[in-house]
């Protein structure tokens, strides 16, 4: 397995591999950049087909977190962790505790939060052995309801705000009545996004790898089920990928009929050039690390003890950020993802230049 020559390696500051034979834990932690602050990012658990797939995912995701935090103007760096395994079969308290011990060994360089395949409860189990977990504090949520720290509601709300901004830019109005939206992935974030859209009058099509998630959306929201093969290719106004990344690729883009892509999943582009390919096909792309920043904003403010009103006010700026990106794209002819990258790089590279480059570290732990 190549690391420094890996196509997704982007001068990451730290990469560690951790295994615990007693619990079956196999995990990778990647820290991309800490120029703005400690790296914060989700801990994902997924049954990767290979170690190479897991490495590719964690490298891409950690880099994305650097850009996400910078674009959202947060004093955080970018990191991510992945646990190789099926969360519905292989997750145990002992495994999670082993992960917590590994996080503690990193000395606060990386702070873990909830992600696909993990929950607030899981992070609390890790927290028995480390203080370097976030998104676990019980408090009043941004919507005024009790919150256990789960950032999913805020991620979904921020994605909804960003989707509305994309619709307004493309269609001239943010009235979503009758808008046709196809959602790929109807889990914690996707379902909440679907509910926001339903409440706003949108018509929904959904797909999820778990049949019970799909059925819930059909029963509770009146959504229409779609197949895995069709969900991104339906004749709708918006597609909202809210599951795994790399779904915008050579095969899918030419067949997308929607005029807008606005979803909560990370790393939607299979390769950077797919950003321009979307623009060439007349598809307005809301860059994923701009539109799905609600969760990281929520976790950041949790650590500061801020009020729900402060959280909502910051999340509402996601729409403004995307509008600026869309307008700059129109003015320059550059694709939206490239514009978003430039804005983020201006922010975290400015901090890097001011503080001096952090030493590069590559470590393996076992």
Catalytic residues: 80
Residue entry with tokens 């970018």: 78
Vertex 237: Cα angle to 224 and 205 (nearest 5): 10
Residue 292 is assigned to a ligand binding site:
no
Residue 239 is assigned to a ligand binding site:
no
Is there a contact between 202 and 178 (Cβ–Cβ < 8 Å)?
yes
Residue entry with tokens 């976030």: 134
Tally of residues, the chain: 366
Is there a contact between 156 and 193 (Cβ–Cβ < 8 Å)?
yes
Residue 189 is assigned to a ligand binding site:
yes
Task: Give me the residues paired with residue 239 across strands.
Answer: 182, 261
Residue 337 is assigned to a ligand binding site:
no
Residue 213 is assigned to a ligand binding site:
no
Task: Give me the residues paired with residue 110 across strands.
Answer: 39
- E strands, 34-186, are 39-46, 77-84, 110-114, 139-140, 146-147, 180-184
**How many angstroms separate the Cα of 91 from the Cα of each of 27, 113, 135?**
12, 16, 19
Residue 187 is assigned to a ligand binding site:
yes
Q: Which residues are annotated as a binding site?
A: 185-190
Q: Which residues are annotated as a binding site for NAD(+)?
A: 185-190
């Amino acid at each position: 397995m190549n690391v420094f020559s890996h196509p997704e390696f982007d001068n990451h500051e730290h990469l560690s591999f951790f295994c615990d034979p007693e619990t079956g834990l196999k995990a990778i932690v990647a820290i991309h950049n800490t120029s703005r602050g400690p790296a914060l990012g989700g801990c994902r658990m997924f049954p990767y087909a290979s170690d190479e797939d897991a490495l590719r995912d964690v490298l891409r995701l950690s880099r994305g977190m650097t850009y996400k935090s910078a674009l959202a103007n947060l004093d955080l760096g970018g990191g991510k962790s992945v646990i190789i395994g099926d969360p519905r079969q292989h997750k145990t308290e002992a495994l999670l505790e082993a992960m917590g011990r590994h996080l503690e060994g990193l000395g606060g360089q990386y702070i873990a939060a909830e992600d696909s395949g993990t929950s607030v409860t899981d992070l609390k189990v890790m927290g028995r052995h480390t203080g370097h977990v976030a998104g676990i504090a019980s408090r009043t949520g941004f919507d005024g309801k009790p919150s256990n720290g789960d950032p999913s509601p805020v991620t979904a709300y921020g994605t909804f705000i960003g989707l509305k901004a994309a619709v307004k830019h493309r269609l001239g109005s943010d009235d979503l009545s009758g808008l046709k939206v196809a959602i790929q992935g109807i889990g914690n974030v996707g379902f909440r996004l679907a509910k926001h859209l339903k409440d706003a009058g949108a018509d929904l099509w959904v797909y999820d790898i778990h049949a019970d998630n799909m059925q819930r959306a059909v029963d509770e929201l009146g959504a229409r089920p779609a197949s895995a093969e069709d969900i991104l290719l339906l004749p709708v106004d918006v597609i909202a990928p809210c599951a795994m990344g790399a779904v915008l690729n050579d095969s899918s883009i030419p067949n997308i009929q929607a005029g807008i892509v606005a979803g909560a999943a990370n790393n939607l582009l299979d390769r950077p050039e797919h950003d321009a390919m979307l623009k060439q096909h007349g598809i307005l792309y809301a860059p994923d690390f701009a539109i799905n920043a609600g969760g990281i904003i929520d976790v950041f403010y949790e650590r500061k003890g801020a009020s729900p009103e402060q959280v909502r006010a910051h999340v509402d700026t996601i729409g403004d950020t995307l509008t600026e990106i869309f307008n700059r794209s129109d003015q320059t002819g550059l694709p939206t993802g490239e514009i978003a990258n430039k804005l983020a790089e201006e922010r975290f590279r400015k901090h890097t230049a001011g503080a001096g480059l952090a030493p590069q570290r590559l470590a393996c732990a076992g």
